[in-house]
A and B are shown apart, each in its own frame.
Chain A
Amino acid sequence: MYRYIINRVLLVFPTLIGAAFLVFALMRLIPGDICLVRLGGGGTSFTAQSLANCHAEIGIDRSWIVQFIDFVWGLARFDFGVSMWSGKPVVVEILSRFPISLEVALIATLISITIAIPLGTISALKQNTWIDLLVRTFSIAGLATPSFWLGIMSILIVLDLTQAIFGQPWMPPIDYVSLWQDPIRNLSIVMLPALTIGYRYAAVSMRMTRSAMLEVLREDYIRTARAKGLLEKIIINRHALKNALLPVVTVIGIEFAFLLGGLVVTEQVFNLNGIGRLMVLSVQNQDYTLTQALVMVVVTIAVLTNLFVDLMYAWFDPRIRLN
């Protein structure tokens, strides 16, 4: 087991370094650089000297190898440097945008779990009935609906409903306040985006719950439990659901990790200032340090989630760690 853990943990590093190299190279392959964006932004002319000064000031006149070693060495010390665009420390930039993205992702996960697990279970128990068909249609539709369109539609519905009820349209506020400062205002900002993402996310986990439940319900020990005359409720809750949830939890975990990096479109629709939009902005400004740091945060979360899932599987299933 220890051998497996050590091997698996060691595999994390090549992935992280590979991702660091990829983002480093991609950013520098984009034509132009931040100095051109900064100096030529307003269509003003500038001299070669001022461009060179700007390059020297932020250190992108050095060779790629030196810059890359500098970047990786910084990562190893958790020092992400300062944003090339705003001059503020990258950590400050990310931390100011992170809470809203994290909150939306967490609430979306909660919503999806509350929808997916009961519906997936019922769908499996009532296999091939109209209930099953309805739940499956609902979940396939969830996979087919673009989340940004669902966002636009939900805003439209809220506008029309409030117009009809209160006589004037109401829109969720856009300036973020933390949950602790003003819970109602906070939730009114976060709820719609979380619902639209939660639906899609629920569709994925619902399908997983259903198929895992169907598999488990065919196991011998379920038949034994039934033969013993156990209550159906106990069979489902204690014996079936518990064993079916492992793959479901895996899907939820992995989706959560991807969610943090994939919120861009939803943030755009709802005008939220989260890390998704910060990513787009930082690439457009050619802010190397900020983009690199953002990518490394997202990649690290994804890689660690995968690591955790693999280790959990090895813990539960001895065949994996012995192979």
Chain B
Amino acid sequence: MTFATPTPTGTAAVTLDDFVPPRGVIALSIRFFRRQPVGAIGMVLVMFFGLGGIFADWIAPYNPTANDFAAMTEAPSWAHWLGTDQLGRDLLSRILYGARTAFIVGLSAAMVGGFSGLVLGVGSAYFGGRIDLFLQRILDIFMAFPLIIMALAVVSIFGTGVQNVILAITIPLIPRCARVVRSSALAIREIPYVDAARALGYGHKRIILRHMVPNVVAPFLIMLTAFVGQAILAEAALSYLGLGVQEPVPAWGLMLQGGAEEYATTAPWIAVFPGLAIMLTVFGINLFGDSLRDVLDPKMRDR
């Protein structure tokens, strides 16, 4: 389980539209779809699973935790579109509810980790000197620390449960975000308008929030998107190891534990579908993130 920082991909030709700022969410989305078809595919994938998770209560055909011993390890059929697991639970329903767990963990971990990293990164760059040196050492420690030990310790100290899984995943995201934000913020600190703001007598808070943060938003948003995917993968891995979300909560990683391997040859659908769900969701997030990078960072457009 490692976390990578995103690298650029995706291109599109510059058209006249680019110079006319679109108004409203709909116009903006239409432009995004036209300019970034690959990113749009990603967005559709993410929305497919996201909406599935949100509306699971209404669209899931069965109760995701109800055992049905009359229908154990049944192959996909009209009654159970994706088949059933070793306890007779409907896989489609479990995947829909699992999407909810995945997005709750992925979004919260990415948000909390990202914003903490933003504050630390910008603060570290702005104040510089000893504060910077000290913060960077602390972040170094967390960067090098094995994720699995951290997760095990968090779970052993606070117990299992969704919020503790989020905590375990958030901790390693913070230093990664802070690193990237800090390096962008260091460049911005040298630009004369920060000096100008200081000369005008503005306080630290105002300079940081109004002058520095808006200028690191582009790399920050790109990273935040990548974090959602990485957090979903981390949640799946922790749940698979039995350190994450616990039964009977439906979670994709948990669905791959135990039964999936045991019945791999006789009932392969138990292992195939939850994994596909994880892969497609994260794939969609990554496609979307890459396109977002192209839109937000014009320098990367032709790479």
Contact = CB atoms under 8 A, between A and B. Distances in A.
A198 interface: no
Interface in B133-148: 137-138, 140-141, 143-148
Interface stretch (B71-79, B198-206, B233-241): B233-241
B146 A279 contact: yes
A286 to B, nearest CB: 8
A122 interface: no
Given A148-B237, A276-B148, A280-B152, A153 B271 contact: yes
Given A27-B153, A144-B280, 18 more contacts: A15-B144, A18-B140, A141-B283, A146-B236, A152-B275, A159-B265, A160-B265, A207-B7, A210-B9, A211-B303, A261-B147, A262-B148, A265-B1, A265-B240, A279-B149, A279-B152, A284-B152, A298-B146
Interface residues of B, number: 53
Contacts of B236: 146, 148-149
A31 interface: yes
B279 A140 contact: no
B268 interface: yes
Interface stretch (B18-26, B187-195, B256-264): B256-264
Contacts of B256: 148-149, 152
B113 interface: no
B73 to A, nearest CB: 15
A302 B148 contact: no
Given A146-B279, A159-B264, A208-B7, A264 B241 contact: yes
10 cross-chain pairs, A with B, having the tightest CB-CB distances, nearest first? A149-B275, A144-B282, A261-B146, A144-B283, A18-B141, A302-B144, A207-B7, A26-B153, A30-B156, A283-B152
B286 A259 contact: no
A160 B37 CA distance: 38
Contacts of B90: none
Counting chain A CB atoms within 10 Å of each CB, the highest count among B144, B147, B261, B302 belongs to B144
A228 B116 CA distance: 52
Nearest to B287: A140
Contact of B241 (A18, A207, A215, A280): A280
Contacts of A283: 149, 152-153, 156
B272 interface: yes
A149 B265 contact: no
A135 to B, nearest CB: 10
A204 interface: yes
A55 interface: no
B11 interface: yes
Contacts of A19: 141, 144-145
Interface of A: 11, 14-15, 18-19, 22-23, 26-27, 29-31, 127-128, 136, 140-141, 143-149, 152-153, 155-156, 159-160, 163, 169, 204, 207-208, 210-211, 214-215, 255, 258-259, 261-262, 264-265, 268-269, 276, 279-280, 283-284, 291, 294-295, 298-299, 302-303, 306
B279 A145 contact: yes
A140 B153 contact: no
B4 interface: yes
B156 A31 contact: yes
B108 to A, nearest CB: 20
Contacts of B272: 153
27 contacts: A11-B140, A18-B140, A31-B157, A127-B11, A136-B9, A143-B286, A144-B229, A144-B280, A144-B282, A144-B283, A146-B236, A148-B236, A148-B256, A152-B260, A153-B271, A153-B275, A211-B8, A214-B302, A261-B148, A262-B2, A268-B240, A283-B149, A283-B156, A284-B152, A291-B149, A303-B140, A303-B144
B278 interface: yes
A156 B279 contact: no
Given A31-B157, A280-B148, A303-B144, A265 B11 contact: no
B261 A152 contact: yes
B294 interface: no
Contacts of B241: 264-265, 268, 280
A262 B144 contact: no
B290 interface: yes
Contacts of B268: 156
A304 to B, nearest CB: 10
